[in-house]
Amino acid sequence: MAACWRPRAWARKPLTFATHPLIFHPCTAASRRSFHITSRLGTSNMPRMEVELTAPNGRKWTQPLGLFINNEFVASSNGQTLASINPTTEQEICSVFAATADDVDAAVAAARKAFKDPSWKKLSGTERGALLWRLADLIEQHKETLATIETLDNGKPYKAALEEDLADVISVFRYYAGYADKNFGQVIDVGPDKLAYTLKQPVGVCGQIIPWNYPLDMAAWKLGPALCCGNTVVLKLAEQTPLSMLYAAKLIKEAGFPPGVVNVINGHGREAGAALVQHPDVDKIAFTGSTATGKEVMKMAAATMKDITLETGGKSPLVVFEDADLDLAATWAHIGIMSNQGQICTATSRLLVHDKIYDEFLARFKAKVQEISVLGDPFDESTFQGPQVTKAQYERVLSYIRSGQEEGAAVVLGGQPAPQQGKGFFVAPTVFANVKPHMKIFREEIFGPCVVVVAFRTEEEAIELANDTTYGLGSAVFTKDLVRAHRVAREIEAGMVWINSSNDSDFRIPFGGVKQSGIGRELGEAALSAYCHIKAVHVNMAA
């Protein structure tokens, strides 16, 4: 997991508090044409809580549809639902219950009760670690099903979901399982008349809001450190991709976590997300999504002065100096922007290339995109790029392509929709040249398979271009001169810098940004600080 041919789950993005139509049936006739569905009906007084699904790869599973509160799946208080759409076929998979503010109240109450209950509060760190390890084992046992659900609901290639995302999910839980009994306080020597020591104690009830681009991975990044430190959680899923984590909720119960320790809710951001952020009995909010929504989260959390961590947008530069290995640079530049359909927060979407090697690099980069970025059915082994996650995201990407053309940039590759057999939210991998720093495609996060290539002449100019953004999440530098590499890495305003690679993140290394790319860090030991308070205890030894 230390390095990977394609990036893991560094990402996030848009979890906007947007509306979706409410659909009150569990599945449609259209969805039955793309894969088999058998509903498990409830009684006349009980709504259906699950449905049997069969994916195009032949895998079958029982899909939960409810809100997971207190270790049980329940309907929303008013029966409202939201539909999950297969972005490959544009057909509905099924509908899941969507939480109201009352349902958020119920989930938070369950988490608060569990936080105080001896069944969780009195567990040692070693015992919490054992639960996390057991959850990791169960996820590993069910990884093919979870990868299948992720591909169906999100559109990412099955091979990437299985070999990259699920591998990272399992590693993250095992990493924090190991840390659960090693997050120590200190004894501080202040002289013989006083004993002073610190305790690391859990924050309390944590509201966690995850995005749609890496549903399982982003959940693991948040649940792992929170549970490691002894917190309880209400996890709000992205309304676009709720299915995989609902299935994983069954495994949380099976692993032995007490009721209420982890609650998983679906719902619209404007309703369930806002209620969670503003809830007076939630002690902390962790959000991954767009910068615009992150700002709204900050405003809403301010009323109760909650702890917050935010992982938001990015417009990451990848700098190629004249002495770089151009094949290596082209290979990693492709990985850095085209993986996961370009839906990665740290995507190196601005390629800054020395003018002496600009044409040669552009030619090699285009060839690499044409060779590797095979569009198609995400269940097909040969597919590298699946569809964008939703129609809204598909249209957003196409609007940026039009904007780039209107502002005078040259499309040297792609630039158009690419439906497969007339269906799906597919966008051809797009490369822009002749881009100026004032253009929207240079300045704004597109979150799709679109990249700009810009020339520079000096190291100083490269640094200036790299930092000419409101974001500061990821960055990359390609050069054989390691002295220069380290010098430039220090000057780039970003939370992460890759030297001679791009987006090969690792669960043991802190992940996060500066400027408008967020607050705080996820992954590694650094993530633990967001989920515990340090309490100082003073003992008067002379009493």
Q: How far is CA 153 from CA 150, 199, 212, 284, 345, in A?
A: 5, 42, 9, 29, 19
Closest CA to 111 of 286, 262, 225: 262
Q: How far is CA 49 from CA 42, 91, 462, in A?
A: 7, 21, 55
CA distance 412 to 4: 28
Q: Could you identify the residue written with the tokens 């495994």?
A: 251
Respond yes or no: is residue 144 known to be catalytic. no
DSSP three-state, residue 193? coil
CA distance 456 to 458: 6
DSSP three-state, residue 155? coil
266-277 as b/e: b if 16+ CB within 10 A? bbbbebbbbbbb
Closest CA to 7 of 150, 153, 168, 155: 168
206 bridge partner residues: 233, 284
CA distance 306 to 395: 35
Catalytic pick from 50, 90, 92, 311? 311
Closest CA to 83 of 97, 67, 102: 97
| Cα atoms found within 13 Å of the Cα of residue 112, Cβ hemisphere only | 12
**Amino acid found at 502:** S
Q: How far is CA 106 from CA 34, 110, 148, 465, 478, in A?
A: 36, 6, 31, 49, 51
Which are the catalytic amino acids?
311
